[in-house]
């Protein structure tokens, strides 16, 4: 199967990055969601397209339900962009600010969607003017942050937390630390800084163990040293660490699943574009300078083609990454242990223009 893949910065995840028409003129509650599988990507794509059509018909309530479903299945920038605009039309400004903020933080380096960014920025500014914002920091990384009892992520949080104007209770929890909370008042259009200092606590078991050890040492000192043969330390046999192999293998499987899912979605988008083009030609029209009655259909064709192109690029990167990670796993298993001084680790990386996997280690 041949794919027309142009070089382009993409997010290596189960994300679908597309150029959307002006109707998407497009925090998640939990931004860093787990990668979607191929079936979830396909179902999210179907809900996404239904949502765009409903938005075009100004059926914002129905569009919100479809786009919300797509977001829960596959939280990507384009879904957040469209869902944020739908929330904006429904005057749900706090939720609109959440999704538009997420979309702008993860805006891709794709020229076809660059013209939509000013609209997202404008609507985010208008939504922010109607709600309050909190910039929450916690001294312990990984602490769960809650606002009015609802979890909003783990420290350090990505971006601001948007809330309705009024008083709110901010909490941070993490095992091994005393929970901390703070009340804060939020006003429309203002941002409040909330710093949560977390203090480590000692468990009762650790304290008891320390007391017993101290008592035993004192008793031994009272009896005095016992003569005996010297103890020769025995070398500890090196054990192979299988965690990197499992991590690389799992990442490779995810990459393969993403490649398959996005390939299917790309083919579906191409089929839609071909069908739309055929109907336009049969109707005696064309899309170079379309008549007003055909503008909407031509824009849909362009959207489907751009979507197919971007999904094809995602699939290509996913297949390549899957192969690289699989090779890394095999290399780790076959490489002599005596030559490897440190384990190989595969970590996900993400930035504003894309994402991928970083493989680190020493041989």
In the predicted structure, residue 214 carries a pLDDT above the cut 70: no
Q: What is the mean pLDDT of residues 167-178?
A: 94
Residue with tokens 């609209």: 119
Q: What is the mean pLDDT of residues 223-238?
A: 52
Q: What is the pLDDT of residues 18-60, one digit of tens each?
A: 334 444 433 333 444 445 588 889 999 999 999 999 999 999 9
The pair of three-digit structure tokens given for residue 41, joined into one six-digit string: 């990507």
The pair of three-digit structure tokens given for residue 276, joined into one six-digit string: 């739309």
Cα dihedral 277, 279, 284, 287 sign? negative
The pair of three-digit structure tokens given for residue 29, joined into one six-digit string: 């509650």
| Nearest-angstrom CA–CA distance, 14 and 355 | 11
Q: What is the pLDDT of residues 255-267, one digit of tens each?
A: 788 889 889 988 8
In the predicted structure, residue 3 carries a pLDDT above the cut 60: no
pTM to 2 decimals? 0.49
Q: In which element (H, E) is residue 347 found?
A: strand 342-351
Please report which residue ranges of the chain form alpha helices under DSSP H.
38-56, 60-73, 77-89, 93-105, 111-114, 117-128, 204-223, 243-282, 295-334
Q: What is the pLDDT of residues 309-330, one digit of tens each?
A: 888 888 888 889 888 888 877 8
Q: What is the pLDDT of residues 83-103, one digit of tens each?
A: 999 999 999 999 999 999 999
| Nearest-angstrom CA–CA distance, 294 and 292 | 5
What are the residues whose beta carbons fall under 8 Å from the beta carbon of 88, sequence distance 6 or more? 96, 100, 123, 126, 127
Q: What is the pLDDT of residues 283-315, one digit of tens each?
A: 777 677 777 777 787 888 788 888 888 888 888
Per the prediction, the chain carries an average pLDDT of 77
Residue with tokens 């050890």: 213
Q: What is the mean pLDDT of residues 219-243?
A: 54
């Amino acid at each position: 199967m041949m794919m027309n893949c142009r070089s382009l910065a993409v997010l290596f995840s189960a994300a679908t990055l597309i150029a959307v028409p002006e109707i998407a003129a497009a925090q998640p509650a939990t931004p860093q969601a787990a990668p979607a599988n191929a079936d979830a990507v396909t179902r999210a794509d179907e809900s996404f397209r239904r949502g765009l059509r409903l938005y075009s018909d100004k059926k914002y309530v129905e569009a919100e339900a479809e786009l919300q479903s797509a977001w829960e299945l596959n939280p990507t920038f384009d879904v957040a962009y469209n869902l944020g605009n739908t929330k904006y039309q429904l005057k749900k400004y706090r939720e609109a600010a959440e999704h538009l903020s997420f979309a702008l933080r993860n805006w891709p380096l794709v020229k076809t969607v660059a013209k939509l960014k000013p609209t997202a920025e404008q609507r985010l500014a208008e939504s922010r003017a109607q709600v309050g914002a909190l910039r929450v920091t916690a001294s312990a990384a990984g602490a769960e942050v809650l606002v009015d009892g609802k979890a909003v992520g783990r420290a350090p949080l990505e971006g601001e937390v948007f809330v309705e104007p009024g008083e709110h209770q901010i909490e941070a929890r993490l095992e091994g630390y005393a929970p901390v909370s703070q009340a804060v008042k939020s006003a429309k259009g203002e941002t409040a800084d909330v710093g949560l200092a977390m203090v480590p606590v000692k468990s009762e078991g650790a304290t008891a163990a320390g007391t017993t050890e101290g008592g035993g040492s004192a008793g031994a000192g009272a009896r005095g040293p016992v003569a005996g043969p010297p103890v020769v330390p025995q070398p500890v046999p090196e054990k192979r660490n299988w965690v990197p192999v499992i991590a690389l293998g799992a990442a490779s499987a995810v990459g393969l699943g993403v490649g398959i899912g996005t390939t299917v979605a790309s083919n579906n988008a191409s089929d839609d574009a071909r069908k739309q083009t055929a109907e336009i030609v049969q109707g005696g029209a064309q899309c170079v300078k379309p008549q007003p009655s055909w503008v909407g259909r031509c824009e849909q064709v362009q959207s489907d083609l751009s979507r197919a192109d971007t999904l094809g690029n995602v699939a290509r990167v996913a297949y390549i990454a899957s192969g690289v990670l699989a090779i890394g796993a095999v290399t780790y298993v076959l490489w002599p242990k005596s030559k490897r001084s440190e384990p190989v680790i595969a970590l996900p990386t993400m930035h504003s223009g894309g994402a991928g996997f970083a493989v680190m280690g020493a041989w």
